[in-house]
């Protein structure tokens, strides 16, 4: 199934990944950032409905020079003490947040439209693909409407979040290691979409559905080859 997912990602298609019953218990829509289109954004906004984020590999994050949001907060605590009180030390499913900064491409208008967000995401992937990470400030501004996530080194070998699963899939597919992920929400009960409904959505829309365990095992084999 993972090989089918990698083929779908290389074809610019969305895949669904459920992390784990013992973690967030959420299914995310995932797509390669380099293939992001306004049509994809519309589908993600309407059919997923969570926070649209752009996971970035540890290597690309380093080259871009972007920090974790918690690093920014710690640096500014002396001036804004409330940031210390807001530190996310009690996340029930994880030890550390992957959140980084938010950006818009400088050629966007408000940055929130499907066209604007798709353009920002696709151009970010282009920047990384072409080894122009040092030009981030030239082409992008912050804050913006695309939330960046920093993957841990080693991806799912170190942290088993959707951020790392997204980048592990990009790496195994041989794609630029920038992705898009968004949690699938339930319109009826206000919670995240349960696994059964997410699997049914995948079947109805001819999309690949993966478990986090499948991604992790495939990645372990990938890095050991």
**Strand 99-105 to 53-56 pairing:** unpaired
Token code pair at residue 138: 């030239």
Neighbouring C-beta atoms of residue 222, cutoff 10 Å: 14
CA distance 66 to 101: 7
Positions of E strands within the chain:
15-18, 27-32, 53-56, 99-105, 140-150, 179-183, 208-211
Least confident of 89-93, 157-161, 204-208: 89-93
Please give the model's pTM, rounded to 2 decimal places.
Answer: 0.94
pLDDT above 90: residue 219: yes
What is the predicted pLDDT for the residue at 23? Answer: 53
Report the CATH number that the domain containing residue 171 is assigned in CATH.
3.90.870.10
Residue 149, both tokens: 């996530």
Cα separation, 126 vs 128, whole angstroms: 5
Residues pairing with 219 in the sheet? none
State the pLDDT confidence band at 158, using cuts at 50, 70 and 90. Answer: confident
Q: How many domains does the chain have?
A: 1
Q: Which residues are catalytic?
A: 28, 53, 93, 104, 145, 183
Half-sphere exposure of 25 (CA within 13 A, CB side): 11
Angle at 222 between CA 13 and CA 55, to 5 degrees: 45
Strand order in 27-32's β-sheet?
Answer: 99-105, 140-150, 53-56, 179-183, 27-32, 15-18, 208-211
CB-based contact 216:169 (threshold 8 Å) = no
8 Å CB contact between 144 and 103: yes
Provide the residue range defining the domain that includes 56: 2-224
Mean pLDDT of the chain: 94
């Amino acid at each position: 199934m993972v090989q089918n997912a990698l083929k779908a990602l290389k074809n610019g298609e969305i895949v669904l990944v459920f992390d784990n019953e013992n973690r967030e218990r959420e299914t995310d829509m995932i797509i390669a950032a380099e293939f992001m289109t306004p049509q994809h954004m519309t589908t993600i906004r309407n059919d997923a409905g969570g926070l649209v984020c752009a996971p970035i590999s540890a290597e690309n994050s380093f080259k871009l020079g972007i920090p974790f949001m918690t690093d920014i907060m710690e640096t500014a605590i002396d001036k804004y003490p409330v940031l210390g009180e807001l530190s996310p030390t009690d996340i029930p499913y994880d030890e550390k947040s992957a959140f980084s900064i938010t950006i818009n491409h400088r050629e966007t208008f408000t940055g929130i439209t499907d066209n604007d967000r798709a353009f920002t995401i696709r151009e970010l992937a282009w920047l990384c693909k072409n080894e122009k990470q040092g030009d981030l400030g030239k082409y992008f501004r912050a804050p913006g409407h695309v939330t960046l996530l920093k993957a841990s080194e080693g991806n799912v070998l170190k942290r088993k979040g959707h951020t790392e699963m997204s980048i592990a899939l990009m790496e195994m597919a041989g794609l630029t290691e920038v992705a898009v992920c968004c949690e699938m929400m339930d319109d009826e009960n206000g919670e995240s979409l349960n696994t059964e409904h997410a699997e049914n959505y995948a079947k109805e829309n001819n999309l690949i559905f993966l478990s986090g365990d499948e991604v992790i095992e495939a990645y372990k084999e990938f890095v050991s080859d």
